[in-house]
């Protein structure tokens, strides 16, 4: 129990900025497109896309472990300056909560992206995007137990106060930019590569009333491809890289998809590796405009001694709603005599 309290405190200190740490991350990062790259806003064929990811992490080593739900909605809304170009918009929400100290981090963002078609058939698309977000972080410093809170009369840490000078509520505005290129040169083959910068202005994020800190820039790059092996199988290799304040995150994944029938039902199975941290088991289903994915991280970092190799569980969902813009009207043949 004492170990869990200690680890909870360490993770809290990392989160509020006493120690520089990385942003929230997802193993199924492609299922959370707006936290990957703002250029992903409206980057699909359809009317509206909705989805989200839920992550639950480190329940074996922390009381009230990390729980992170995220949601997004995006859409291509209007034509761009050229006939084949278009503009996409998105809104996203993410909340991270953990620890007996009631730490929470909430992010609400809006993205705008311009998609440039590089050929008449829109087989090659170059996109630039930007994101503005409002971030809020809070922690209950009164839930921490310090030596000067010990009451000899009761033998408990029951003296009130906020000795750590935690701020109840810290908020700041944030800006991100991104660029993405995707290509579908032929049937059964598509690929993409993108890069983004989050916390562009390095906003101030003071976790203590007696200290000042900033949120360091995070640079993200990702690439992936999907190609048919034969009529039944497809393969999706993909890589992810992020760096923030000298800390790097590198992910490599390979997902095989098997077509179960001719109605577009695909069973996905795969594996991944986050360097020096976790091995990943990936699975999911695709059915036309619906994608469902689950993943589990097997912790292989030095924390595995306490976690017993247990890491994080994720479930992600994405769905594209398609509404015909020009509904088909059955032709009416009039008799010329009337």
pLDDT of residue 163: 54
**160 DSSP 8-state letter:** -
For residues 34-49, average pLDDT:
97
Q: Which phi and psi angles does 230 have, rounded to 5°?
A: -155, -165
For residues 222 and 76, what is the distance between their CA atoms, to the nearest angstrom? Answer: 22
**296 DSSP 8-state letter:** E
For residues 314 and 99, what is the distance between their CA atoms, to the nearest angstrom? Answer: 19
Query: In the chain, helix, strand, coil percent, each to 5?
Result: 10, 55, 35
Examine the pLDDT at 104 and tell me if it is beyond 80: yes
> 311, 25 in Cβ contact below 8 A?
no
For residues 228 and 247, what is the distance between their CA atoms, to the nearest angstrom? Answer: 36
> 245, 226 in Cβ contact below 8 A?
no
For residues 209-216, average pLDDT:
75
Note the pLDDT tens digit of each residue in 43-96: 999 999 999 999 997 655 556 667 899 999 999 999 999 999 999 999 999 998
pLDDT band at 198; cut points 50, 70, 90: very high
The neighbour count for residue 196, using CB atoms within 10 Å, is: 25
For residues 187 and 192, what is the distance between their CA atoms, to the nearest angstrom? Answer: 15
Greater confidence (57 vs 222) lies with 222
Task: Identify the bridge partners of residue 63 per DSSP, sorted by sequence position.
Answer: none
For residues 100 and 10, what is the distance between their CA atoms, to the nearest angstrom? Answer: 12
For 2-321, give the CATH class. mainly beta
Note the pLDDT tens digit of each residue in 255-304: 999 999 988 899 999 999 999 999 999 999 999 999 999 999 998 877 66
**Closest CA relative to residue 71, chosen from 27, 120, 35:** 35
Examine the pLDDT at 7 and tell me if it is beyond 70: no
Q: State which of 18-27, 243-252, 301-310 shows the largest mean pLDDT.
A: 243-252
pLDDT band at 143; cut points 50, 70, 90: low
For residues 138 and 169, what is the distance between their CA atoms, to the nearest angstrom? Answer: 5
pTM score of the predicted model: 0.83
pLDDT band at 5; cut points 50, 70, 90: very low
pLDDT of residue 211: 62
pLDDT of residue 18: 41
For residues 87 and 71, what is the distance between their CA atoms, to the nearest angstrom? Answer: 21
For residues 39 and 34, what is the distance between their CA atoms, to the nearest angstrom? Answer: 8
> 68, 11 in Cβ contact below 8 A?
no
Domain ranges of the chain: 2-321
**Closest CA relative to residue 25, chosen from 310, 307, 297, 305:** 297
pLDDT of residue 122: 95
**Closest CA relative to residue 242, chosen from 292, 197, 181:** 197
Q: Taken in order 190, 71, 175, 137, is the CA torsion positive or negative? A: negative
CA max distance for the chain: 106
Token pair, residue 248, equals 């790097």
């Amino acid at each position: 129990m004492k170990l869990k309290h200690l680890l909870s405190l360490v993770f809290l200190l990392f989160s509020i900025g006493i120690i520089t740490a990385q942003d929230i991350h997802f193993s199924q990062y492609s299922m959370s497109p707006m936290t990957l790259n703002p250029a992903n806003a409206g980057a699909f064929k359809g009317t509206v896309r909705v989805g989200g990811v839920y992550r639950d992490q480190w329940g074996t080593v922390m009381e009230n472990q990390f729980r992170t739900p995220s949601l997004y909605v995006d859409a291509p809304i209007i034509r761009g300056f050229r006939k084949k170009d278009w503009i996409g918009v998105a809104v996203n929400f993410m909340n991270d909560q953990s620890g007996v100290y009631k730490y929470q981090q909430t992010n609400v963002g809006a993205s705008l992206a311009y998609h440039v078609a590089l050929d008449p058939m829109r087989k090659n698309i170059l996109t630039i995007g930007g994101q503005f977000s409002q971030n809020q972080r809070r922690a209950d410093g009164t839930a921490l137990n310090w030596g000067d809170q010990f009451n000899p009369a009761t033998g408990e840490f029951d003296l009130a106060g906020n000795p750590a000078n935690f701020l109840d509520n810290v908020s700041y505005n944030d800006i991100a930019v991104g660029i993405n290129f995707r290509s579908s040169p032929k049937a059964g083959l598509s690929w993409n590569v993108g890069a983004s910068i989050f916390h562009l202005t390095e906003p101030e994020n003071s976790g203590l009333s007696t200290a000042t800190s900033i949120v360091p820039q995070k640079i993200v790059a990702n690439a992936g491809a999907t190609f048919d092996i034969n009529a039944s199988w497809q393969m999706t290799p993909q890589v992810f890289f992020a760096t923030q304040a000298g800390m790097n995150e590198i992910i490599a994944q390979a997902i095989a998809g098997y077509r179960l029938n001719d109605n577009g039902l695909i069973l996905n199975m795969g594996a991944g590796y986050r360097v020096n941290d976790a091995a990943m088991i990936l699975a999911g289903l695709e059915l036309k405009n619906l994608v469902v994915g689950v993943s589990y991280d097997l912790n292989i970092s030095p924390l595995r001694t306490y976690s017993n190799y247990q890491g994080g569980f994720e479930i992600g969902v994405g769905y594209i709603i398609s509404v015909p813009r020009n509904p088909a009207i059955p032709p009416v043949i009039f008799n010329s005599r009337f």
